[in-house]
Structure 1
Amino acid sequence: MLEALLFASSRAVDEGTIERVCGLRGEEIGEAVREINEELAGHPFIVEALDGKYLMKLKREYEIAVSSFFESKLLSKAELRTLAVIAANEPLDISSLVAYRGGASRRHLRKLRSLGLISVSREGRRKVLRTTAKFKSMFSVESGGEMVEPGDGGSGDKT
């Protein structure tokens, strides 16, 4: 049931949803994910845990191999630059982003939010931007912010 839930979901699934749908909790989820990943070892998919959520996705080497077959890009260069500024400076307030990237960045924010790549929260009077678990998964970034080389697992030399 967990494999079906993760396969059908276009977003990372939180533990509460997994418990509701599958009846699994805590370590049972981790064990089920390990079993699924063992079964998928020879397949192009993997289940990843990101910030307490789970996502089934293509393994990085397959993402790279098939990316050239998709004509339309998900984000424009300008949207990618805006996203990069957020990722490099998070938490970043909206006014600082607009001062740096210009008024068009507000339009970029709408798209980035709709894709689930950034979140906006209120801290006092400021609206603060942060990247999400989906961003980290999509761009192979560890929670600590370091880029992960394909097949590296985060332990390689970062020179």
Structure 2
Amino acid sequence: MKYLLFATMQIALLLAAPSASFSQQQLISDPEIYEKEHFKKRCGTVEYGPNLIDRIDINNDTLIDAVVNEGDITCDGTRGPDCTADGCPHNFYLQVKEGGYFMIATAQIYGYDFIQRFGNKVFILKMHPRFCDRTDSEPCQMTVRVRGTKFLTISKK
């Protein structure tokens, strides 16, 4: 009986854990303001390009979400200070009905297309070939869709 009670308590804690971690994440008022404030603190001089942020509904909930391209930032004369051979950081934010946004993912990618395929909006993420388990030089193209707060990989090539 003692073990049954202990096992039940463990299961209850495990089921509560995902919702507890989600509720601990801080909502931000606007991803653009948040990212610009971050780079103002980090850089002496900072410039933002016209492709810094895309405001699109990435998870089909009718709320306008945001994708921030850190490759469109110039920090102390260096364009895309965190860009590498793997691409530039892109931060994906979801808007919530209660107001505000939270980040659901960061990806080091070359870029993306957001297209409609078979009635669903999907991302075609252009990435380093190693993300598709390849050694050639052609970028990997990973097709993903956002459902709820999760990225679901549909295909890689």
Same-fold call, TM > 0.5?
no
Give 1 or 2: higher helix fraction.
1
Structure 2 length-normalised TM: 0.25
Higher relative contact order (CA 8 A, sep 6+): 1
Structure with max Cα Rg = 2
Structure 1 length-normalised TM: 0.25
